[in-house]
Structure 1
Amino acid sequence: MSPLIPAYSPLLLLSFAVFSANASNWLYLAKLSSVGSISEEETCDKLKGLIQRQVQICKRNVEVMDSVRRGAQLAIEECQYQFRNRRWNCSTLDTLPVFGKVVSQGTREAAFVYALSSASVAFAVTRACSSGELEKCGCDRTVHGVSPEGFQWSGCSDNIAYGVAFSQSFVDVRERSKGASSSRALMNLHNNEAGRKAILNNMRVECKCHGVSGSCEVKTCWKAMPPFRKVGNVLKEKFDGATEVEQKKVGSTKVLVPKNAQFKPHTDEDLVYLDSSPDFCEHDLKNGVLGTAGRQCNKTSKAIDGCELMCCGRGFHTEEVEVVERCSCKFHWCCFVKCKQCRKLVEMHTCR
């Protein structure tokens, strides 16, 4: 008798795919300004976008959840900054997922969003630890003594280990659930970790000098996270050089390998994606694409923010608009700056 092979229904297989594709639904926390502080366990059940295991994590770590929400807001803000001049500019919706169906596909845009959002949770939670907001964590006490360079470790080193561990448990929980071993789940997990490494690999040493008249007779130093803008810049570079991958079985393990065998294998710090991106030119609600009609463009630029590329060859409108700027600013003793308001006409170009 041949061994029994479990037959998964198309509906069940689809549920696995949707399960992993919508793993960023927790970003909806950024939209919940009306909830106020997340300080009671009962609030966790009302938070839209969380799966049951995330609700359980919320109840066990209620004091951390305001930091998670700040992380979600930080991710959206940084995404919109990094993609401000691209056809897809991280526009958000008031529905799930907040970035629309763009992140439900295995594109490089989805890779960037997953990496950035996992990094933002690690960053926000670590910052809350260092500022004394959380009882469960504080400064990193493993950093102490005298460094090989001769300075004294002191001050409050950022407890990045705690922030990363919380990000792994909260953000990765969907993919690590039973049955979620699809290529998309592997893609998400890889990019989540790449996002956290963008912080870990860019930790820096900050120091303060002590001595007479500011001399540096004694120097105390601590480890600090990079500014989140630096993390965003690093991940944007990784986005530009992301690797298209496919799933392959090596022994009994499923792994992601470059789709083009001539490409060198990606590292843990690189972003990976499965599907080609749409061109984002036309309004396509089915795929969550808003299109570029009405977007402002740069008439003189040859880059993606230029009118030719941004408008996808459809042409653009030009109009003169009046802008108000501060001008003729003067410093008055003591101590304020007074400016006039100047009006001028400028040309504004928008895609047809």
Structure 2
Amino acid sequence: SELCRRMTDLMPYVKNAAKETIEMCQEMFKEYRWNCSTIKKAPYFENDLIKGTKEQAFVYALSAAAIAHQIAKACSKGELDYCKCGVTQSENLIFSNHDETVTNELPTHPPSLASEMDENAYRWQGCSDNIDYGISASREWADAAWKSKIRTSRDLGPGGEFIWDEDELS
């Protein structure tokens, strides 16, 4: 599809997100009747994942979250040139306590770290995950199928699978 060609640099992260989705889904539902086993049949899903079921909605949401997570991590690691560290609200982590605002105090352990830093405040100096970009990319990816031609019952084969036009595949 056009989206795949436009976002080729994200494909490794989408692939990792797919693996993460399968593993998480199967782990979460391993003790249940529906144990997420049909997810491995992608893209030839069975009725449980193509008929507007709660299982389909869950897998859709889980995969969107996994894509956002993978891309946000890639941004913070500097693996994608066009997205950098996420934005933090403040250099200090500040907690509100009724009418009074106080900075978070350092824990007593490890003592060597506490002695090297200001004991009254903690300053974040790392690179936060760029969750905003991850969510944006995930939303675009997940919504691509819905934004394309709206499918009707005439587009479905006897097993409920989509029948794609040849033009859409090129």
* TM-score bucket of the superposed structures, by smaller chain: 0.5 to 0.7
Counterpart position of 2:16: 70
Q: Is the 8 A contact 1:126 1:162 kept in 2?
A: yes
Q: Say which one has the larger Rg.
A: 1
1:177 CA displacement: 3.1
Give 1:302's aligned residue.
none
Question: Segments of 4+ in structure 1 off by > 2 A?
Answer: 56-61, 92-101, 141-154, 176-180
Query: Is contact 2:16–2:70 with CA below 8 Å preserved after alignment?
Result: yes
Pairing partner for 1:167 from 126, 130, 138: 138
How many equivalent pairs are there? 130
1:89 to 12, 35, 43: 35
Summarize the alignment of residues 46-195 of structure 1 with structure 2, pairs less than 5 Å apart. Answer: 52=1, 56-92=2-38, 95-149=41-95, 150=103, 151-177=122-148, 179=150
- Provide structure 2 residue ranges, at least 5 long, that are not aligned to the other structure: 96-102, 104-121, 153-158, 161-170
Change (3 A) 1:94 1:120: closer
Structural mapping, 1:161-310, within 5 Å: 161-177=132-148, 179=150
Name the CA distance, whole Å, in 1 between partners of 2:44 and 2:77. 29
Residues 140, 157 of structure 1: 8 Å contact kept: yes
Query: What code does the residue aligned with 1:165 have?
Result: S
Partner of 2:98: none
| Aligned partner letter, 1:81 | E
Letter in 2 for 1:130: S
SS in 1 for 2:126: coil
Change (3 A) 1:81 1:99: farther
CA deviations on 1:208-239 (whole Å, 9 max, x unpaired) are xxxxxxxxxxxxxxxxxxxxxxxxxxxxxxxx
Aligned amino acid, residue 164 of structure 1? I
Contact 2:13 2:70 in 1 (8 A): yes
Native 8 Å contact 2:22 2:40 kept in 1: no
- TM superposition shift of 1:134: 1.4
Larger relative strand fraction: 1
Q: Between the two structures, name the one with larger relative contact order (CA 8 Å, sep ≥ 6).
A: 2
TM-score (norm 1): 0.33
Please give the alpha-carbon distance, in whole angstroms, between the structure 1 residues aligned to 2:5 and 2:53: 33
SS of the aligned residue for 2:146 comes to: coil
> In 2, Cα distance between the equivalents of 1:72 and 1:172?
16
- Cα displacement string for residues 103-136 of structure 1 (whole angstroms, at most 9, x for unaligned residues): 1112211121111111111111111112222112
Output the aligned Cα RMSD.
2.6
Preserved contact between residue 126 and residue 163 of structure 1 (Cα < 8 Å): yes
- Which ranges of structure 1 fall in alignment gaps of 5 or more residues? 1-51, 183-285, 288-352
